[in-house]
């Protein structure tokens, strides 16, 4: 395979306490903003997840990321391709694609080997450092996709070994939250995927993410702890907000992956429906860390204009991020959101293990709750915004109590392993 891009893949383990990983799922139109962040020397990002159908569109971003020693993770999108409403657009034109959605027979022994080889060849040819393995959304330990997924992961591992290439292989375990939280079924899944060769596990849990309640977040954290015994890096995929930061703070996961103001939770309902014509791309939202909110630009503008007090308390004061404060937050929401999330994870990384949970509860959850309460009572606030903040206030109160209770009754007894960061050889 003479057209394979060979990388300087020396990975240097950090001598200090590991930093929590942050991976960006790059959407179709996100590449220019991510290029800008790379150009500014952003160090809080570990790498970029590129969907297979967008490789050519994101070629310049991939080249720049590779040169600056970021990880590049290929998502072959096999999970989407297993559903009628997911197998849309350019997915059918991929080497392992089909005009219809995949079924289990497409990953039987010989077809599975062929598809594994096609996916690995694509990752190697285009210079990826990691591959999200070709798995599917499961509905429990008895799902008919489970054994074919394990076999295909092992086929991919064999192909990587045959090429003698240091391509990292990640097991993407996708399943609904109501299955993930049931310990007998979870332990059965953990035992089963123990047969699959992989370098890391990414958990992609349906109906969990930045919109999760405190009770659901506590259940997610406790469930993640059962994966620690495997002894490999564990990342929460498609998670963000206070729930995602909480899972990191409690040591449940070693990092997070999400999109640029989207895909901070995972819902597969659209995949299960018949395919519908695309209505265009998704617009970026404005991240307000003080409120743990992602808002449409028009709503954010209305909020900032409602009161100088709100603008002062919720506007970005980091001149390296937004030199013109709220104006830049609205004008360049993608850059602001990713920059701020990177700083949040860095703050948790720099906090000693013994005080990380208390810092998260005091400096994130409590402060957000207090800010929401203050803004909900500001005079002159738009009625719709006030209703939304009052609802958020009630939800945050319950979230705060659930997280505080978890810290008392089930403090971290083990810590997830963080993915090592790719770095230049000897530097």
Q: How much of the chain exceeds pLDDT 70, in percent?
A: 93
127 and 233 both lie in a single domain:
yes
At 295, is the pLDDT very low, low, confident or very high (cuts 50, 70, 90)?
very high
At residue 18, the pLDDT reads 73
What pLDDT score was predicted for residue 8?
44
pLDDT in tens, 156-165: 999 999 977 8
Asked whether residue 341 falls in the same domain as residue 365, the answer is yes
| 427 within domain boundaries | no
Average pLDDT over every residue of 233-251 = 98
CATH at 83 = 3.20.20.105
- pLDDT (mean) for 178-197: 98
pLDDT over threshold 50, residue 6: no
- Residue 17: predicted pLDDT: 61
Residues 183 and 298 in one domain: no
Are 335 and 262 within one domain? no
Give domain status of residue 361, yes or no: yes
Would the pLDDT of 10 be above 50?
no
Average per-residue pLDDT for the chain: 92
Tens digit of each residue's pLDDT (9 = 90 or more) over 340-357:
999 999 999 999 999 999
- Residue whose C-alpha is closest to residue 137's, from 91, 172, 181, 92: 172
Instruction: Provide CB contacts within 8 A for 145, sequence distance 6+.
Output: 82, 104, 107, 135, 136, 137, 138
Residue 292 and residue 191 share a domain:
no
CB 258 within 8 A of CB 244: yes
Average pLDDT over residues 383-412: 94
- Closest by Cα among 173, 198, 190, 400 to 266: 173
pLDDT in tens, 276-288: 665 556 689 999 9
Assess whether 235 and 291 both reside in one domain. no
Q: How confident is the model at residue 151 (pLDDT cuts 50, 70, 90)?
A: very high
Number of domains, the chain: 2
Which of 240, 272, 304 is a domain's end point?
A: 272
Residue 273 has pLDDT above 90, yes or no: no
Query: Domain range for residue 315?
Result: 286-409
Provide CB contacts within 8 A for 379, sequence distance 6+.
307
Span 255-266, average pLDDT: 96
Name the region of 89 (left: φ>0; alpha: ψ -120 to 50; beta: rest). left
Tokens standing for residue 27: 């959407």
Q: Which residues are CB-contacts of 301 (< 8 A; sequence separation ≥ 6)?
A: 330
pLDDT the model gives residue 188: 98
Domain check: are 258 and 304 in the same one? Answer: no
Q: What percent of the chain has pLDDT over 90?
A: 85
Measure the N-to-C terminal CA separation of the chain; round to a whole number of Å: 30
How far apart are the C-alpha atoms of 136 and 227, rounded to whole Å?
A: 19
Give the end of a domain, one of 272, 307, 330.
272
């Amino acid at each position: 395979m003479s057209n394979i891009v060979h990388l300087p893949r020396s990975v240097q383990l950090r001598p200090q306490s590991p930093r929590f990983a942050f991976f960006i799922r790059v959407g179709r139109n996100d590449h220019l903003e991510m290029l800008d962040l790379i150009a500014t020397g952003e160090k809080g990002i570990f790498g970029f997840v590129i969907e297979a159908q967008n490789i050519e569109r994101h070629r310049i971003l991939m080249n720049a990321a590779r040169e600056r020693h970021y990880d590049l993770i290929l998502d072959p999108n096999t999970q989407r391709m297993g559903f009628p409403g997911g197998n849309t657009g350019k997915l059918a034109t991929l080497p392992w694609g089909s005009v219809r959605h995949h079924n289990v027979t497409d990953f039987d022994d010989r077809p599975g080997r062929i598809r594994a080889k096609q996916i690995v060849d694509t990752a190697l040819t285009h210079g990826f450092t990691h591959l999200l393995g070709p798995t599917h959304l499961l509905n429990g330990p008895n799902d008919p996709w489970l054994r074919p997924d394990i076999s295909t992961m092992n086929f991919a591992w064999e192909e990587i070994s045959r090429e003698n290439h240091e391509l990292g292989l990640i097991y993407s375990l996708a399943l609904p939250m109501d299955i993930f939280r049931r310990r007998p079924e979870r332990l059965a899944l953990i035992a089963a995927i123990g047969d699959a060769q992989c370098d890391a596990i990414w958990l992609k849990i349906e109906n969990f993410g930045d919109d999760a309640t405190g009770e659901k977040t506590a259940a997610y954290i406790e469930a993640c702890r059962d994966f620690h015994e495997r002894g490999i890096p564990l990342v929460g995929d498609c998670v963000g907000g206070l729930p995602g930061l909480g899972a990191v703070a409690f040591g449940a996961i070693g990092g997070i992956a999400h999109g640029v103001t989207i895909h901070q939770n995972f819902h597969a309902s659209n995949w299960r429906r018949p395919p519908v014509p695309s209505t265009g791309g998704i617009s970026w939202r404005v991240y307000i860390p003080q409120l743990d909110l992602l808002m449409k630009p028009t709503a954010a503008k209305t909020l900032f204009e409602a009161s100088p007090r709100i603008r002062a308390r919720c506007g970005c004061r980091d001149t390296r991020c937004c030199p013109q404060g709220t104006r830049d937050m609205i004008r360049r929401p993608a850059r602001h959101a990713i920059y701020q999330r990177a700083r949040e994870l860095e703050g948790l990384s720099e906090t000693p293990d013994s005080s990380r949970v208390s810092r998260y509860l005091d400096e994130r959850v409590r402060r957000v709750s207090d800010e929401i309460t203050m803004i909900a009572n500001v005079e002159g606030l738009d009625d719709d915004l006030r209703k939304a903040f009052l609802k958020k206030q009630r939800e945050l109160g319950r979230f705060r109590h659930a997280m505080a209770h978890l810290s008392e009754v089930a403090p971290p007894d083990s810590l997830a392993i963080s993915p090592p960061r790719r770095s230049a050889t000897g530097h």
